[in-house]
Amino acid sequence: MKIAELFRDRTVFSFEIFPPKKNSSIETIYDTLEDLQDLHPDFISITFGAGGSGNGANTLAIARRLKEQHGVTPLVHLPCIHDTKADIDGVLQQFQENGIENILALRGDRVEGREPARDFCHASDLIQHIHRQGDFDIAAACYPECHPEAPNLDTDIRYLKEKVDAGASHLISQLFFDNDTFYDFRYRTARAGIQVPIEAGIMPVTNRKQIERMVTMCGASLPRKFTKMVQCFEDRPEALRDAGIAYAIDQIVDLVTDGVDGIHLYIMNNAYVARKISEAVSGILKASRNSTAAK
């Protein structure tokens, strides 16, 4: 199943997971997949290794398991900054041999102590290359509040347009906590001629350290409402988890009401959080899909 086809008749709902680190058993994530199975996401994306480990073999194994044992469409992340064309071609061949059709093409983060391979300087270069190698559906990432390395949002959107022009069929946004930020970004992309579906990336906050790390990495701003929530419950872990889930649900309801193309939930391998949110929003997603199908 090509993921791009899903956006034609529904508000897409998906999860992101990551493989365990090299010194951890892959069985830990398999247990998570069992817990996620009956939530019926439209697809699940799998990052390429964990923490820059490049643990790509586990990524492929998880994708195969999703597809073959759980009947869930996998979207496999593929970073390129430290890989040669030969490296990428080898990975693409493995994807083809295992029936993996969907790729999230990324430049990827620079790994300390490793020099970039320089065959792919930008995600758009990788997207063009993938199209020449096989019949894949290619997604790309976007940043509602601007990529940390871009000088400004207008420049970043011009780079995003290059990804779409290179062949990205849909986009997945980095996390954000203020929906107005996403709506402004969506308006700007449309004005720039970007017409592919954009999934909104939502991360439920379950602890303060998690959010501090993610905000440092992606540059998301924290609205006053969110900051007050974290400050109020930071010393009560279960209360903060529940408040974070409620905040994410509130974001999703507002986004679906405003006609978002899809919701991509960064669940941090936490099946409990995924279940609570899925159960809370299943009714509005169903109503949204019925409304879309009737048009």
191-195: long-range contacts, CB 8 A cutoff, minimum separation 24: 192/157, 192/158, 192/160, 192/161, 193/161, 194/157, 194/160, 194/161, 194/164, 195/164
Considering only CA atoms, which of 274, 279, 259 is closest in space to residue 202?
Answer: 274
The DSSP code for 103 is E
**Nearest-angstrom CA–CA distance, 118 and 3:** 29
Residues 6+ apart with CB under 8 A from 114: 82
Intra-chain end-to-end CA distance of the chain, in Å: 23
Amino acid, res. 180? D
DSSP β-ladder status, 198-202 and 262-266: parallel
Q: Measured between alpha carbons, how far is residue 104 from residues 100, 123, 126 in Å? A: 12, 10, 10
DSSP β-ladder status, 170-175 and 198-202: parallel
Catalytic site positions: 16
Phi-psi region of 140 (alpha: psi -120 to 50; beta: other; left: phi over 0): beta
Considering only CA atoms, which of 193, 159, 177, 196 is closest in space to residue 12?
Answer: 196
Residues 6+ apart with CB under 8 A from 35: 271, 274, 275
